[in-house]
Structure 1
């Protein structure tokens, strides 16, 4: 803990562990992995020179030193909350520039079209929508929207929605080559796939649990979802795309989800996260945009919203 900011962030981890009851649930609540939680506790103890949790019982019990730190953190947190609310109370208009970075497909089909309604509600907030940088450390946006199965450790994150993947095709393509009713029917089709997912391994029937395997004919791969989406719209083949692209697509060249009775296995679960500054330090304008994106994610058709799961 090299600075007061580090100390406050690490002590917030201590409070989260106590509230959750164990390291694993605290990691879920904070949107980090369990190893990051353990590392923070070890750094606190190294800085103090004494344990903060008792290792002699099965319950998560604080040592006397841990109780002193937790009490200090809670008093400081309450004082900070009061100060922030008082500062916000001096504002009459929520205004300012907020930058949001995300993948082009999210920007084009989900985030971008929603901003007109947001601008009507918050006319003094100017949003800058930019392409997501390859590395989180190089991304200077106020809010980063990232789809991943492993969020970055030691970052403030908000879970927005689980991202499901679906096979889809255009009506024109299906008229020419037929609608697959069973995974075995896919053998006669060509596929346009994400670069990271070049083969379909297994399908599981949602009702019976029956399994079917498939090695498809892949005609093209790309790491750009918008490229896959455009080619599938033009009838170039069957594509594998996140379900939100089907939920938010326009009526022009709509795509149809295939094999609704079957679930595609073999891809790790992914989640749409919003990565941002610590919640207590968010500007009012950034908080307004973040709340808008959270509500938007709740409408990702076919997806599981974390707001709905709470």
Structure 2
């Protein structure tokens, strides 16, 4: 048997009348006149197929059908109220789900402080954190499967995505600890010219790969890449085995391997950029809230360099609140 659809307005009128058991008081509470209230109750009774109230001189009482309907009606209205509240929270950015892609190396620096503070400020927001290299992050942003990307060396131009630099950090040389150059406090990039290199594949982060090889070219040589590895931890592990050397962001020093030495590369050290990325047409109010946290320097170490405000480039021209 097909169940009748009960309009919310009629259900609300029924619950109020069931609580007041007086048409005048119920109408006043609803802010309507008595005749419209009576009409709503009659329409609801027509849908149910039975009288919900017994009416007599000076008295109104629930019928057995009315007593049976009342708990379900209250539950339905309560569920609707909860749904409306959840919708308002999501629309205002107080609740919802934020999907964040991040470069693995940022788990050593920026990410823990950022997530901790964001969760403290917005405990009702569900965070979905996905470790991804740069190229997959860019694709996921365009496809709408993540809302925010935290990546290294963003592309120079993109019509769909917005980017803003969060911090910069210097490159360091990564050497086997037994390597002769590891005995030095500072290693010039030119001194690595004859060494095999271990680098991330260009496909997973073209801009970062080009940045590293560009540092080498500026020092007078093109690096001879002997091995590729997708994650910096693997890069360091391969360096430890003696397969080659590398240039890496300074935060990679936090990967503790006994057989790996990290050395500065001298005055005028080139730096790598960490950027936040988002879809320019993203209407999700949680996006500018996370950008605002980054703008305040949340998660940045005292030695980090943040060259410009994230807030100046929030999505769709909105400013975080």
- The structure whose Rg is larger is 2
Question: Could you tell me the TM-score, scaled by structure 1's length?
Answer: 0.50
